[in-house]
Amino acid sequence: FIAEGKNLFETLIFALGLYRPDGDRPFWEEAPLMAGDVAAAKDGKPKTRRRLVGRTRVYTWISRGVRLLPEEDGTVRYIAYGPGVHPEGPDVPQDDPFLALVKDPRQGRLGAVRLREDRAFWRDFTALFPEEDRGTTPGTLKTAYRIAQDLPAGEGQIPLAVAGQVADRAKVLEVRRERYPLPRRVDLGALQNYIEKALEAAEETASCLRKATWVLAARLLSQARDPDPADVRNLQASFPALRHYYHRLGAAFPGLLLGLGRDPETAFKTWKEEARKTALSAWNLTRQTLGTEPRALKAVQEGERTLAACLRKEEEHE
């Protein structure tokens, strides 16, 4: 997570953050390890481990697994690489300012927030502002807001770049970069609260769309018998409704963020209206793909009743 400034200097300042160098130094300033130190013991575990703490140590860690092989004129055409030095303790450094950390509810350990293949990051935006006992906000973002409080008053934004790999274990599926505008002068606690409410509202509306498309799929498949739930699920997944909903609503999310810096209540109200409007648009798109056969028209009617009732109930609870 990189908070971008108005120019390169400001971006680098945002990325600098507070740093305590006590006990931290690059690996090449420590006593060199011999081959026997990094070899595995009889139980298969590495003999030597080092604590993964301190930014300098973290950022120079990988250099211990690579060796350049220079030729007489200094040219490097070959390298050697090996297992390097194994970390002691958590695999994720706890003080990396470019990471957002969240606590695993099952293991109770902090882990890095990762991009997911099946959804854009805006749907997980609350991970940037966790409660104190559930994770940490990226240091780059905290530094950017701390500095922004000392800048001249006025509107503006802090573009937040979210970049990383989408991976399945050791397999990299894609490299992704997303960008979100955050209001420059805003109370982070209030921003966190409104973003959480906005995403909850979006998921509640999406739930209505899911219920409606489930009814639609079930009625299309029912012919004097109850269809197999797996068949209903597969047909529902083929509808464009939810993909359209999240894609269109994701395009409106930056406007919500900037609006929260000006008039939070109005921005939140506009967002909920946009979610409902997008859900109806997604439903209409799905309906157009089904044709005009009597069975399809009847299924559409039942699905529309389900969607309307769910959205009406959602409004009554506001």
Share in percent of the chain as helix, strand, coil (round to 5): 50, 20, 35
Question: CA-CA distances (angstroms) from residue 45 to 31, 39, 152, 261, 298?
Answer: 21, 9, 55, 52, 64
pLDDT of amino acid 84? 64
Does one domain contain both 59 and 103?
no
Does one domain contain both 199 and 299?
yes
Strand partners, 298: none
Structural domain tally of the chain? 3
Does one domain contain both 61 and 105?
no
| Range(s) of the domain holding residue 55 | 18-88
pLDDT of amino acid 178? 92
∠ Cα 255 259 265 (to 5°): 130
User: What is the rounded CA–CA span in Å between residue 215 and residue 306?
Assistant: 8
User: What is the rounded CA–CA span in Å between residue 268 and residue 281?
Assistant: 20
Residue that finishes a domain, picked among 182, 201, 230: 182
Question: CA-CA distances (angstroms) from residue 121 to 113, 182, 242, 247, 269?
Answer: 10, 14, 16, 12, 22
Does one domain contain both 48 and 174?
no
Does one domain contain both 63 and 112?
no
Does one domain contain both 305 and 219?
yes
Does one domain contain both 37 and 152?
no
User: What is the rounded CA–CA span in Å between residue 59 and residue 62?
Assistant: 7
∠ Cα 40 45 47 (to 5°): 55
- Three-class secondary structure of residue 210 per DSSP: helix
pLDDT of amino acid 98? 87
Q: Is 156 left (phi over 0), alpha (psi -120 to 50) or beta?
A: left
Does one domain contain both 68 and 106?
no
pLDDT of amino acid 61? 76
Residue that finishes a domain, picked among 45, 66, 88: 88
Does one domain contain both 51 and 7?
no
Does one domain contain both 7 and 132?
yes
CB 238 within 8 A of CB 286: no
Torsion of CA 80, 83, 84, 87, to 10 degrees: 160
* Tokens 């009597």 belong to residue: 294
Strands 76-81 and 66-70, by their bridges, are: antiparallel
CB 310 within 8 A of CB 304: no
Residue that finishes a domain, picked among 182, 199, 224: 182
Q: In angstroms, how far is the first alpha carbon of the chain from the final one? A: 34
pLDDT digits (tens, 9 = 90+) for 141-175: 888 888 877 766 555 788 999 998 888 777 888 88
User: What is the rounded CA–CA span in Å between residue 254 and residue 121?
Assistant: 12
pLDDT of amino acid 155? 55
CB 151 within 8 A of CB 26: no
CATH number at residue 298: 1.10.132.100
Does one domain contain both 242 and 298?
yes
User: What is the rounded CA–CA span in Å between residue 58 and residue 23?
Assistant: 13
| Among 285, 314, 317, CA closest to 202 | 314
pLDDT digits (tens, 9 = 90+) for 100-147: 888 877 777 788 888 888 889 999 998 888 877 788 888 888 888 888
What SS3 string covers 19-32?
A: CCCCCCCCHHHCCC
Does one domain contain both 84 and 101?
no
Q: What is the DSSP letter of 44?
A: S
Q: pTM score, two decimals?
A: 0.78
From first to last of the 318 residues of the chain, give the pLDDT tens digit: 899 888 898 888 888 777 777 778 887 787 776 766 666 656 656 666 777 777 787 777 777 678 889 999 999 999 987 666 677 765 556 677 888 888 877 777 788 888 888 889 999 998 888 877 788 888 888 888 888 777 665 557 889 999 988 887 778 888 889 999 988 877 778 888 999 999 999 999 999 999 999 999 999 988 657 888 999 999 999 999 999 999 999 999 999 999 998 899 999 999 999 999 999 999 999 999 888 888 889 999 999 999 999 999 888 776
